Amino acid sequence: MFSAFVRCQAACPTLAVVNELSEAELDALIGQATVDCYNEGEELAGFAVMIEDNLAMPFKTTVLGVTVTVKRIDQADSGIVAICVRGQHRQAIPLLDLPLPDPPPQGTEWIAAYRHWAG
């Protein structure tokens, strides 16, 4: 079972695609996700839609040494979360903290852009 999560530090598995995207490419994705947005809440919703539409799900990843399946993406008050499942247990994990598998699933460039936007 998994319960507590900490923000990824340098030792966490990182998104391989982050190193492949230039600043300009990340900025272009951010522009697509946030076009016509008037505030941060709308921008967050834009990222949630782009990630949901483009990320290949479900996929398996490892969280705190436990294999989980990312079933879907959702928006919470705290930001965008991955709904992770293991057996009968479900937990929302902030997408900013979610370790991704290697190789990452298709569409992770949108997670990279979200992480870049969130700083």
Phi/psi at 69 (5° precision): -110, 125
For residue 82, the Cα-to-chain-centroid distance in whole angstroms is 7
8 A C-beta contact, residue 97 and residue 8:
yes
pLDDT score for 1 = 31
| pLDDT score at 19 | 60
CA angle 50, 52, 58 (to 5 degrees): 145
Sheet order of strands, 79-86 included:
59-63, 66-76, 79-86, 89-94
Residue 103 domain flag:
yes
pLDDT, tens only, 78-93:
899 999 999 999 999 9
- Is pTM, for the whole model, over 0.75? yes
pLDDT along the chain (119 residues), means of 10: 32 50 94 95 96 97 96 94 97 95 94 94
In this structure, is residue 104 part of a structural domain?
Answer: yes
Closest CA to 78 of 95, 53, 101, 57: 95
Tally the domains of the chain: 1
Residue 6 lies in a domain: no
* Domain range for 65: 16-118
